[in-house]
Amino acid sequence: MLMVTMSRMLSELLGVHEPTLARSIQDLERASWLQSVDVRLTAEIVTKVHGKTRALGLDPRDTNGRELYYALQDMVRLHDDFLVRLIGGSDAGDVEDLLPRIVHIAQRVRIPRQVWVIKHSVGKRLLRVHPPRRLMKSLGYRSLDSLLKREPIDVVFAAMRFLETPQWQRQFVQQYNRLQPSDFELRNVEVINLQGKKWEQAATDFIRSQHHNITHSKEMGSIIVLPLPVRRLPGITITVLPLLLHYINEIRLYSALFKLQQVKPNFGAIISETILHDPGNHVKVAGQGVHWRVVQQHFGKLSRLEQPELFEPHVQPEDLEWRSAEDILFHMEPALQFWQGMDFAGVVLDGRRISFNLMDVATNFINQLPFEQQVSYHLQRSLWNELHRRYISQPTLETHILRQLEQELVDSEMPLRSLVR
C-alpha cells in the first residue's frame, strides 16, 4: 500500500532517526518563526508520488514496492528510447554510437557554462611538484613531460581522482593552500569523451564501484566520460546525459563559492578544504550547517532584480543561475516532464526506499539492480536540500544567511574589491 504515516515519511526517506529529525525541524521552526514546513513538504511528496503512480497505470492504494519499482524501470526505458531518437541514435544499447552523441549534446545544450577555475599553467606547475606516478604508469607514460604533451591537463586532473591513492590526492590538494585568486581564470566547463583501450582498462574499477562512467574536477572545470568495458548497454543515454548536466551544475556552484571566497586571506586553505572534505557548513541556520549548494540554489532561483547586492562584484547573477537536469531534459524532450519536480520525491514500501529521482531510477535501470539493491542517494541529497531551502526562503532566515556571508567578508583582511568579473 502507498498509504504511509506522514510522521515517519521524511525520516524514512532521509534515512534519519525520527527523533533526530524532529529536533532539527523544531530548531528550524523556532529560527524561522514558521511551522509545518515539513508537513507541507511531506504532503507534497505524497501528492506527487500518488499522481505519478497513477500515471504509471497503478492504483496508489493497492500497489506494492516491487510493482512500483519495476513500473518506474519501464518508464525510464521508454524515455531512454525517446532520448536516443532525439540525439540521432537508432539502437538504445549501442555504446560506441551513443556515447559520442551524448557528449555532443552535453557540449552544446544552451545552459550557462562559464566557471572560475585554476589556470592550466598553474595546474602543470602543481603536477611538477607532485607527479601522478600511478596515473603515468597506468597509461604507459615514463615521464611527466610525456604525459602532459599527449594528455590534456583537464583530463589528467579528472583522472587523478580514480587512478591515484587517497593519500596521494590529499598530499596533492594540500598544495592548494598556497593558491591565490590570481591563479584562477574564467573558462567554460569542458566535457571530454575519452576513448581507447588504455582508458577502458584504467577506468574499469572506478566504473564498477560508482555504477557510472563519469568523473570530474571542480577546480579545473572538467568532466570526463570514460569508455565502458561493454559494447551494449541499454539505458546509457538517459543515465549519462542527466549526469553530465548535473556535473556542469556542480562545477558551476563550486565556481561561485570560490569566487565568493577570493577576498579572504586564507583563500587557498578554503579551496583545499573544499576539495578534500566538502564541508557542509558554509552557513549556520538554527545551529545546523547548511551546504553552499542550498544557498546557491535558493538565490539562483530569484530574478536578477531580487539578487542581493552582497554577492557583487565577486559573484554575478549568472554565477548563481541554476536549472535542474530534469528541467533541461524536459525542454529537450517534452515526454520527460514525468520526472520534472520529482528529484526529492519517493516512498518507502516493503522495507525499501523507492526513489522517483530520475538519476536514481536510471542508475537502477542501467545496472539492472534488483528491487533489494536499488539506490536512492540522489533522492536523499535532494530531499535534504529541499527541506533546508524551504526554511531559508523565509525572510528571517534569508536575512540571517546574508548577514553571515556579509560578516565573513567584513572580517576578511583583504580590501573588498573586485578581483574577477
Neighbours of 1 (CB within 10 A): 11
Q: For residue range 301-322, what is the model confidence (pLDDT) as tens digits?
A: 776 656 666 677 677 778 888 7
Residue 394 confidence (pLDDT):
83
Distances (CA, A) of 335 to 75, 79, 237, 344: 11, 7, 15, 20
Q: Report which of 199, 327, 180 is spatially closest to residue 261, judged by C-alpha positions.
A: 180
Sequence-ordered list of residues with C-beta below 8 angstroms from that of 381, at least 6 positions apart, any chain: none
Q: How confident is the model at residue 7 (pLDDT cuts 50, 70, 90)?
A: low
Q: pTM of this prediction?
A: 0.88
Residue 414 confidence (pLDDT):
44
Q: For residue range 381-420, what is the model confidence (pLDDT) as tens digits?
A: 999 999 999 988 888 888 888 888 877 666 654 443 433 3
Share of the chain above pLDDT 70, in %: 92
Sequence-ordered list of residues with C-beta below 8 angstroms from that of 138, at least 6 positions apart, any chain: 163, 198, 201, 202
Map residue 68 onto helix, strand or coil.
helix
Q: How confident is the model at residue 210 (pLDDT cuts 50, 70, 90)?
A: confident
From the centroid of its chain, how far is CA 63?
Answer: 31
In 195-313, which ranges are continuous DSSP H helix?
197-210, 236-261, 267-277, 292-300
User: CA angle 39-43-49, nearest 5°?
Assistant: 145
Q: How confident is the model at residue 281 (pLDDT cuts 50, 70, 90)?
A: confident
The mean pLDDT value of the chain amounts to 89
Cell, residue 402: 546574508
Residue 82 near residue 76 (C-beta atoms within 8 A):
no
Q: Is residue 208's pLDDT more than 90?
A: no
Q: For residue range 374-390, what is the model confidence (pLDDT) as tens digits?
A: 999 999 999 999 999 99
Q: Report which of 421, 405, 406, 409 is spatially closest to residue 316, judged by C-alpha positions.
A: 421
Sequence-ordered list of residues with C-beta below 8 angstroms from that of 197, at least 6 positions apart, any chain: none
Residue 5 confidence (pLDDT):
46
